[in-house]
Every structure is written in structure tokens, then in C-alpha cells.
Amino acid sequence: MARTKRGKPINGWIVVDKPAGITSAQVVARVKRALGASKVGHGGTLDPLATGVLPIACGEATKTVTYVMDGIKTYWFRVRWGEGRDTDDAEGAVIATSDHRPTREGILAALPSFVGEIEQVPPIFSAIKVDGQRAYDLARADKPVTLVARPVFVRSFELVEMPDVDHADFKAVCGKGTYVRSLARDLARAVGTHGHVVSLRRARVGPFSEERAIPLDKLESIVHTAPASDYLLSVATALDDIPALALTGAEAHRLSQGQPLAVTELAARVPLDTIGADATVRAMLDGRVVALARIEGGEVRSLRNMNL
């Protein structure tokens, strides 16, 4: 006998303004409980210290999480000079100190080397796996953790303000897998000192911005009285950067049954030349996403069907 899923079949995205002091998993659990939803996930972890945009996927939106996590992210953060910490943020233990404080000129001179495709070593307190175990689990158990540098992309890294000699505020726009804590740590070393992140706010993840974010406590209070349209965004919101491919009802049915569609059948009606070969598309029917599909070898094949 098949097990019945508990909870309501809610489909869409909620942009939560995460408060400091709790994990992303705890936010997911509270949203799931508040909505009574059967399936909930998130589009990119934020450390407990961090605040800001945490996209929450409900139902069929969980199938699009990868596209959100691959998106460009914007962070605002403050660095404390003179102290290196084992977590590279204010929650860790001090492991190194320095009396040196960088000048504005020194910081500005160092920033360009952290822009573009760079090599970055993640913090030892991170979710990176080492021999099948999370690095943070090994670090918490006082076991040696050796992480290798990985290529990441930083679109921009700006000095915003220097409120006092011990602190500086920054804005970074970066790609998947970039650790702000590592940026702070490595920048501090580049300017001749130690440093760690004392505050961090994520302002954007892909198509989701803080202007659309709802504080967690507010969301928990309005879900029982406000219409879903007040807080729930469509599944397709996460796919704004993916070309749309409009289908007829018959074509959508065939695609959902695992049957490929010949590109030649669609070419007369759909401008496939603007999409390109070997592209991922969102297959649409009457304004709703029916599948994530791939154009390859003259055919359109479904990657993930959407039950909307």
C-alpha cells in the first residue's frame, strides 16, 4: 500500500527574509509547518549569522532549485580586521591576531585580484565533503581538514565604507560556490592582516531580491489569513532566464509522456533560432510550465515534468 504524503500540495516560491541566529534548515521547517505544505526546500544555504534572501521552494518548485542555486548572488557584509577565526566569521574562536590595519588605498589596490574567475579555498567550517564527511563535522570533532582551492566567479567586489579603523563594509556580486567568509579571510591576508566576517546580508539570489522578501515572523502570521498571492510566487519565477517554448496541448501531452518532439515540427511556429541548439528551455502551455526540456540532436526532450 502506497504511503500518503502529509500536508497540502502547495506549489511556488516564497522569498523569506531570514533572521540571524537560525539555520536555513530551521527556516524551511518553520515555513513548512506554517503552510502545512507537503514538500518544502530552499534555494541556497545561509549561515546562522547571516540575514536576507532565502528562497523557499514549495511542491513542484523544488524541481527548479538547481537553477536558483546556480544564479548570481549579491551580498553586503562587514569585515573585522585584526582577528582570524576558525570559522572565518564572528561565531568562531580566534586563531590569529594582528595589530596592522589596512588603509583605504591598500584595500582598493587589493580588490581587483579578487574579481573574475579566481581560485578560492572554502572555510573549514563548510558543507564541502571530505572523504564522504562534511568539513564542518570534521572541524567540530577537532579532526584535520584540508580543502583544496576551487574555481569560483566574482562579478564585482566593492569597498562601501570604513566606519572605523577596525571595520570595513563591502558589497560582492558572485556566482555559485563562492564563500564570502573566504573572500574576507583572503582579502585580509592580502592587505597584511587577519580578518573575519562580523555581519552578512544576502540581497539577491538569481531572480529573487530583498524587495520581495517577507520576514519569517510576518510570514508565519499572515499565511492563515492572507491570500496565497500575497506571499507565493509562481514556479516559473525561478526560470526567468531560461527561454520559453510555447507548445500546443497535444505537444505538451506527448512531452509529458516521455515522447520527444521534432524540432522541425516546431520551427515554423516557434523562433528556435533565437534559442539555439543544445539549450534548456521551459516548455509552456497556456502560460504555465509543463516541463523543463532540452533541445538536442534535432529533438526536444523532457528533463523534468511539472505537475501544475
DSSP characters for 150-187? EEEEEEEEEEEEEEETTEEEEEEEE-TT--HHHHHHHH
pTM attached to this predicted model: 0.88
Q: Is 244 exposed, middle or buried (0-12, 13-18, 19+ CB in 10 A)?
A: middle
> Where are the CATH 3.30.2350.10 domain residues in the chain?
12-71+207-238, 73-205
Residue linked to cell 584540508: 146
Given the residues 47, 88, 89, 186, the one annotated as active site: 47
Question: CA-CA distances (angstroms) from residue 95 to 25, 46, 92, 168, 283?
Answer: 28, 23, 9, 20, 52
pLDDT under 70: residue ranges of the chain? 1-5, 270-277
> Where are the CATH 2.30.130.10 domain residues in the chain?
242-305
Superfamily of domain 242-305: PUA domain (2.30.130.10)
Enter the C-alpha cell of residue 67.
Answer: 537553477
Half-sphere exposure of 202 (CA within 13 A, CB side): 35
| Record: fold of 73-205 | Pseudouridine synthase (3.30.2350)
pLDDT tens digits along 242-257: 888 888 999 999 998 9
Domain 12-71+207-238: CATH architecture, name and number where available: 2-Layer Sandwich (3.30)
Query: What is the rounded (10 degree) CA torsion for 172, 178, 180, 181?
Result: -160
Please list the alpha-helical segments (H only) found in 43-83: 65-69
- pLDDT attached to residue 276: 63
47 as an active site residue: the answer is yes
- pLDDT attached to residue 5: 60
